[in-house]
Amino acid sequence: MKFLEYTPLDSINLFLNHLNLGECTVRGNLEAFSCKHTGTDRKLSLSLEHEILDYLGQSADSDPPSPVEYLSSRSSRKTLIYLVLTLGRMYPDYDFSSAVRAHLFFKEEEWDSFKQIMDTYLFEAARQWVVANEGSSLLESMTKAIDEVIKIKECEIYSYNPDFDGDPFLEKGAIWSFNFFFYNRKLKRVLSFRCCCISNLAGDGFLSDEAANEEEEEDLLIDMDM
């Protein structure tokens, strides 16, 4: 997967790079990737394909059979592999060598679902954007930029919602995070939008101090019981 530079994304990335909203900070990033394989991608892609086929073979013999209809399609397997490779480029310090496990956390979405997430989680950020950009809408600006890069109407949209242990974006003080992927088969291109919200209280050491105080209170209660 090759990173692609697109200037339409720059202004939004600059705005969401470190948006301080008082008690929390929002960090978001839009990135585009070509599905053209590098040498490393090709090796991992083959490994992922073999893993999926082995899984399908084992599932066919299981009783009851596992729900593997999606992975049975070669086109769907190819899509999943592209998404996993994109994750690997976004989070190079994490291990995304299991497509079967990653498949559990991907969900196909509608454009309306994406807009709802934007309206819900980036409400305050959108207000800041209006002030900074002479009344323009953050959602409309982002829609225009995404469409220019990857043509929204031709895209399949996926969310990635891993469990706690597998969330590469989760860090100390995280309030929420989300990852969306726009995949255009014709253009052979993936655009990702990752965004998280971090509590500024955690950065100030408030949360760690609070946890320490709770431990001290627990120790005191234990001593009293003794």
CB under 8 A, 24+ apart: contacts of 200-203:
200/20, 200/22, 200/23, 200/24, 200/25, 200/173, 201/23, 201/173, 202/172, 202/173, 203/25, 203/173
Name the percent of the chain lying above pLDDT 70: 80
Report d(CA 16, CA 10) in Å as an integer: 10
| Segment 50-100, tens digit of pLDDT | 888 887 777 655 544 455 566 677 788 889 889 999 998 888 888 877 777
Q: What is the separation, in whole angstroms, between the first and last Cα of the chain? A: 61
Task: Look at residue 211 and tell me whether its pLDDT is greater than 50.
Answer: no
| Segment 127-185, tens digit of pLDDT | 999 999 988 999 999 999 999 999 999 999 999 988 766 566 666 778 888 999 999 99
Of 42-56, 102-116, 193-207, the range with the lowest mean pLDDT is 193-207
Q: What is the pTM of this model?
A: 0.81
2-201: CATH homologous superfamily?
Answer: Repressor of RNA polymerase III transcription  Maf1 (3.40.1000.50)
Name the percent of the chain lying above pLDDT 90: 46
pLDDT at 51: 83
Task: Look at residue 218 and tell me whether its pLDDT is greater than 60.
Answer: no
Identify the residue with better confidence: 208 or 10.
10
Q: Following DSSP, what letter does each residue of 190-211 receive, concatenated?
A: EEEEEEEEEEHHHHTTHHHHHH
Report d(CA 8, CA 25) in Å as an integer: 23
Name the residue ranges covered by the structural domains of the chain.
2-201
pLDDT at 86: 92
pLDDT at 66: 52
The pLDDT of 207-217, averaged and rounded, is 49
